[in-house]
Structure 1
Amino acid sequence: MARIAAAAAIPGYRIAPRRRSLRRLFRSRIAHLILLFLFLATFFNALCIQRRIAHLDRPPAAFDVPRKQERIYIAALHWNDAALVRDYWAPAVLDLVEALGRDNVFISVYESGSWDETKVELAAFDAQLAARGVRRNIVLDNSTHQDELQRNMPAEGQPLPEGWIETSRARAEMRRIPFLARLRNLTLRDLWDLADKGERYDKILFLNDVVFSAQGALTLLDTNRGIYAAACSLDFSDPSVFYDTFALRDIRGDVHLTASWPFFRARASRAALVAHDDAVPVQSCWNGIVAMPAAPFISSAKHKRLQFRAIPDSLASLHLEASECCLIHVDNPLSRELGVYLNPRVRVTYDPNAYAAVNPAHGASWVSMWAIAKGLWWNRLLAWFTTDALQDLVVDRRMKSWQEQSDSHHEPGRICIINEGQVLVWNGWNHV
């Protein structure tokens, strides 16, 4: 003790108080407690979310029909998907027909230039519908993409036809989106013809070439108790990421924040998805299956009938593009009045293995606890520290330049437009 007292008398000598080490220990324990609290809060939150998802996904005891009987016009495009049509798509449509009632449906299918056995499988499907007395129009078109390109190829030195632009590859190329918009409108011809004769349908069910179930389609039709301008499923090609990033926009009009759950930047869209509501508010979606009221498509004023379209060629030539499946919601007069919704309880895929993964049996949640916990934090961090402002700036500058070229240049579908080009090629399509 005498040595310590003597040392303490030396000028400049300090003895670290014991309370400093205690303070560090206390702070360390506080940090550990905070981390433990965050871990436990995240764990129990993820557990509750997972249980809610599993509960709300639980299939009904019986094969329910929509809450009211409706007449449904089913429209579909097919191209090179013979196995899917044979093994999954056609059987599901037949189940759906039986659930809705054979007299309550009309099926319009347009197949364009497949080189596999798609035509054979659709012909067999047509025969099955005929045996059931179901009204339908199955069009098998022999015109391939190569035929389309050759038929519309502009002559050298001549003005480009509609749907063609000069691309960054320094040549004239045919745009993909106007081509798809035309095909989708072809699936609606019978709807328009029937409307002109006084026959009306309540809703249109647009079916992509996806693996789905009849019960899933019925659930989608009853989204938000059947009140909507559009209701979409969730689609996947890989179980961990959703597929249709081109058309999906959250309630603020933003593109997806993450390709995995919970997807959205906008708080309202994300909160509804986390709650696993059947009506997640968005501005645009497509995602494999879409239900829409038929009324806007069969307006008595033919020039006002809702149709699929693309952005103008002059705008697309600035390396901008928009999905026809997004623009349809922009043009739909019911979108603001009734709302566009994503229904996460209906999940479809382009692969049967992926379908099994996102639609697990035995009442399990399709999202794991780890995916929920990681998704919540990753989405939160990205929402805090990232922005789409730079990408938006590029698009806005090009659109402003285009608008200044002519007073007639006007495009209401800004939320759909991205910095991208898509052209048709003989075996599909390419980015440019």
Structure 2
Amino acid sequence: MTPKMAARRPRIFRKLLSRSTLLKIVLLFLVWSVVEAHISYYHIARAERETKARTSVTKPRRVFIASLHWNNEEVLRSDWNKGVVDLATVLGPENVFVSVYESGSWDNSTGALRELDGELEKMGVGKKIVLDEETHKDLIAKPPKQDEGWIDVPAYGRKMPRRIPYLSKLRNLSLQPLRELAMNGTMFDHVLFLGDVVFTVPDILALLDTNNGQYAAACSLDFSKPPYFYDTFALRDSHGHEHASLTWPYFRASRSRKAMVHARPVPVSSCWNGIVAMPASTFTGIRGLQFRGLPDSLAASHLEASECCLVHADNPGSRTRGVFVNPAVRVGYTRAAYDAVHAAASAAEEAGGSWLTLGDVFFGMWRTGLRAGLPRRGWRKRR
């Protein structure tokens, strides 16, 4: 290297690192970020319009609805019952079976479900609505018939039932009619696990069509106190990590986050956010899945996992067909929560807007991207 070349190199570096050059780089980066936010905003708005347009079925669908309820009278009477009736009307009463298991509610959930039972009866919809009078207090007051699902709790000086095995048992009971019908030759295309949420027919039709119908499971996004999503226990990104942010675009793994930013079906490891659609064949036949909890020995060591995560881990289809969150399907645990994640879209519909503002998109991409890239203290929760 000649002396002239050696002297020239520091000057080049100083020029590249000059204040004006750095400012240009920052401005260029900001301009690109704004452009990227506009592109994302456009994709979200388009997905919003497509979801709202789904008001009828394009092909026959046979749907088995499975649902658990406890102290849900308010949402049952305000929205849920009507949503089920509307869905059965659109799909066709002959194409729907409703299986509900209610257990020990303190409110008048049983009365609301009896009303639904009557409506479905008039329509000719297949159904099994179980109203179990046993409360949690009744359950723990009597000795267990078997030790499985119960662990010693020193603070109480006795065995206590574990929540996850108990919920697993109820979910399996809600699926029992599906298995019995399949054994008699009556088949369904989808199982729709319908939580105690506010939803509409377009929401369900969009969820069933997630990823063009190619999925092992498709989940909505659920909200109790918007803009924060609700079910953090079951939702894990494509790398098995918990969320990076409770607000949009939520995910730590770049694959999941990019899909959310572009309003595409989001690949995840597990989800159970309000409503879940799965192929009915997953739960029928000799190899049909059952919900379960972790062994009691692990629970005694304070290790626990949701049955709604384990079902995806147990499902071979999760690895071949994928598990997805559909960002266009947003449900709420109250009417106010549902409206909060739809009202903005309704107001902006004529202008081609979305449920998020452009500012939400811009700052959300920055905030979640930074959090996803930062190292975290302690153990990272994974599925």
Is the TM-score greater than 0.5?
Answer: yes
Post-superposition shift, 1:170? 6.7
Structure 2 counterpart SS, 1:321: coil
Structural RMSD (CA) = 2.3
Which residue does the alignment assign to 1:124? Answer: 115
Gapped regions of structure 2 (runs ≥ 5): 1-13
CA distance in 2, matches of 1:49, 1:62: 20
What SS does structure 1 have at the residue aligned with 2:327?
strand
Aligned to 1:267: 254
Q: 2:379 aligns with which of 370, 385, 391?
A: 391
Decide which of 90, 94, 106 is 1:115's aligned counterpart: 106
Q: Is contact 1:310–1:322 with CA below 8 Å preserved after alignment?
A: yes
Q: Which residue of 2 aligns with 1:366?
A: 355
Rate the CA distance shift 1:67–1:335 in 2: closer, same or farther, 3 A. Answer: farther
* Structure 1 residue 62 displacement after superposition: 5.6
Structure 2 contact 68–170 (Cα < 8 Å) conserved: yes
Residue 296 (structure 1) aligns with: 282
Which amino acid is the alignment partner of residue 130 of structure 1?
E
TM-score after normalising by structure 1: 0.79
Q: Is the 8 A contact 1:229 1:335 kept in 2?
A: yes
Among 251, 254, 257, the residue aligned to 2:244: 257
* Residue in 1 that maps onto 2:333: 350
Structure 2 length normalisation: TM-score? 0.89
Residue type at the aligned position of 2:307: E
Contact 1:90 1:125 in 2 (8 A): yes
State the structure with more CA Rg.
Answer: 1
Pick aligned residue for 2:294 from 287, 305, 311: 311
Moved segments of 4+, more than 6 Å:
none
Measure, in 1, the Cα distance between the counterparts of 2:245 and 2:154: 29
* 3-state SS, counterpart of residue 81 of structure 2: helix
Q: Is contact 1:111–1:139 with CA below 8 Å preserved after alignment?
A: yes
Q: Which range moved further: 126-135 or 369-378?
A: 369-378
Paired with 2:254 and 2:111, the residues of 1 have a C-alpha distance of 47
**3-state SS of 2:114 partner:** helix
Q: 1:287 aligns with which of 273, 279, 292?
A: 273
Q: CA deviation at 1:297?
A: 0.8
Q: Post-superposition shift, 1:28? A: 4.0
CA contact (8 A) 2:55 2:201 kept: no
Select between 96-105 and 370-379 the one with higher mean Cα deviation. 370-379
Aligned equivalents of 1:319 and 1:137: distance in 2?
Answer: 36
Matched, 1:144 2:130: no
> What residue is the counterpart of 1:332 in the other structure?
315
1:39 Cα deviation from its structure 2 partner: 3.3
* Letter paired with 1:329: H
Residue 233 of structure 2 corresponds to which residue in structure 1? 246
CA offset digits 1:141-166 (Å, max 9, x no partner): 11111111112469xxxxx8221223
Q: What letter is aligned with 2:32?
A: A
> Counterpart of 2:379 in 1: which secondary structure?
helix
Kindly provide the amino acid, as one letter, of the partner of residue 209 in structure 1: D
User: Quick one: which amino acid aligns to residue 373 of structure 1?
Assistant: F
Instruction: Write the letter of the residue equivalent to 1:391.
Output: W
Structure 1 letter corresponding to 2:36: N
**Where does residue 149 of structure 2 map in the other structure?**
163
Instruction: Provide the C-alpha distance between the structure 2 equivalents of 1:256 and 1:168, rounded to a whole number of angstroms.
Output: 34
Q: Offset of 1:173 from its aligned partner? A: 2.8
- How many aligned residue pairs are there? 363
Identity, in percent, stands at: 46
CA contact (8 A) 1:66 1:221 kept: no
Q: Distance in 1 between matches of 2:168 and 2:282?
A: 17
Q: Give the direction of change, closer, same or farther, for the CA distance of 1:370–1:168 in structure 2 (3 Å limit).
A: farther
Equivalences for 1:208-247 in 2 at 5 Å? 208-247=195-234
What does residue 191 of structure 2 align with? 204
Q: Report the equivalent of 2:11.
A: none
1:104 counterpart residue number: 95
How far is the alpha carbon of 1:335 from its aligned partner?
A: 1.2
In the alignment, residue 122 of structure 2 is paired with which amino acid?
A: A
1: distance between equivalents of 2:369 and 2:292? 35
Q: Where do 5+ consecutive residues of structure 1 fail to align?
A: 1-22, 155-159, 396-414, 417-432
Which of 341, 349, 371 is equivalent to 2:324?
341
Equivalent residue number for residue 164 of structure 2: 177
- When structure 1 is superposed on structure 2, of 192-201 and 72-81 the one drifting more is 192-201
Q: Hey, what does 1:14 align to over in structure 2?
A: none
Q: CA deviation at 1:214?
A: 1.1
